[in-house]
């Protein structure tokens, strides 16, 4: 494969290789110093173009996403709560987010003692933000596919005891609680 890189940077290209996450890495050198930067490779009729990804903070991106979206106020508040936990966990730039970082964030949320459904909600908000960043070319959403999600808690289905059933029937006979008997199938 031939790649032609056009750049406005005062560097020369010393090597090009793919990172484990599939990103194209371009190693640039300037006289004696070698500096590695991440670039996005976009194909356009067989010609490549190197575009530097901006170093956007995740927290900054969340604020911008919530501010510019048509999101209901109640939903915005859950984004802000998720952001508060993100800042406690530790912010990083979008290009530095890894599967381990996201797993650590889930672990941080669980360690606070919040309910599983709340952990799931906050991580769902994080996922929405990261998918949007991916659409803008700022994040590789394949990283999200490797994150082990929080499982939904299984509802314990209980059965009424014989005493509870008798209480319901007695309540019905005394005219309380409407038509309760119709809710049960008796054989």
Residue 84 has pLDDT above 90, yes or no: yes
DSSP state of 151: P
Residue 78 has pLDDT above 60, yes or no: yes
Give dist(CA 132, CA 65) in Å, integer.
8
pLDDT computed for residue 33 by the predictor = 47
Lowest-pLDDT choice from 38-42, 77-81, 124-128, 129-133: 38-42
Q: Quick one: CA dihedral 20, 57, 141, 8, positive or negative? A: negative
User: Hey, what domains does the chain have and what are their CATH numbers?
Assistant: 12-52 (no CATH), 58-145 (1.10.150.130)
The band of 32, judged by pLDDT with boundaries at 50, 70 and 90, is very low
The band of 160, judged by pLDDT with boundaries at 50, 70 and 90, is confident
């Amino acid at each position: 494969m031939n790649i032609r890189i056009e750049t406005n940077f005062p560097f020369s290209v010393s090597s090009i290789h793919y990172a484990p996450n599939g990103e194209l890495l371009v190693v640039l050198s300037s006289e004696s110093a070698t500096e590695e930067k991440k670039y996005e490779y976009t194909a356009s009729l067989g010609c490549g173009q190197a575009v530097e990804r901006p170093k956007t903070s995740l927290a900054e991106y969340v604020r911008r996403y919530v501010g510019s979206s048509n999101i209901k106020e109640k939903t915005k508040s859950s984004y802000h709560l998720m952001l508060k936990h993100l800042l406690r966990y530790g912010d990083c730039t979008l290009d530095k987010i890894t599967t381990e970082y996201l797993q650590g964030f889930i672990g941080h949320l669980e360690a606070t003692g919040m309910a599983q459904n709340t952990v799931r909600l906050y991580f769902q908000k994080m996922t929405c933000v990261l998918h949007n960043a991916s659409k803008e070319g700022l994040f590789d959403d394949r990283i999200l596919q490797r994150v082990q999600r929080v499982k939904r808690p299984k509802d314990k289905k209980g059965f009424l005891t014989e005493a509870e059933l008798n209480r319901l029937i007695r309540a019905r006979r005394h005219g309380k609680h409407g038509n309760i008997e119709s809710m049960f199938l008796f054989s």
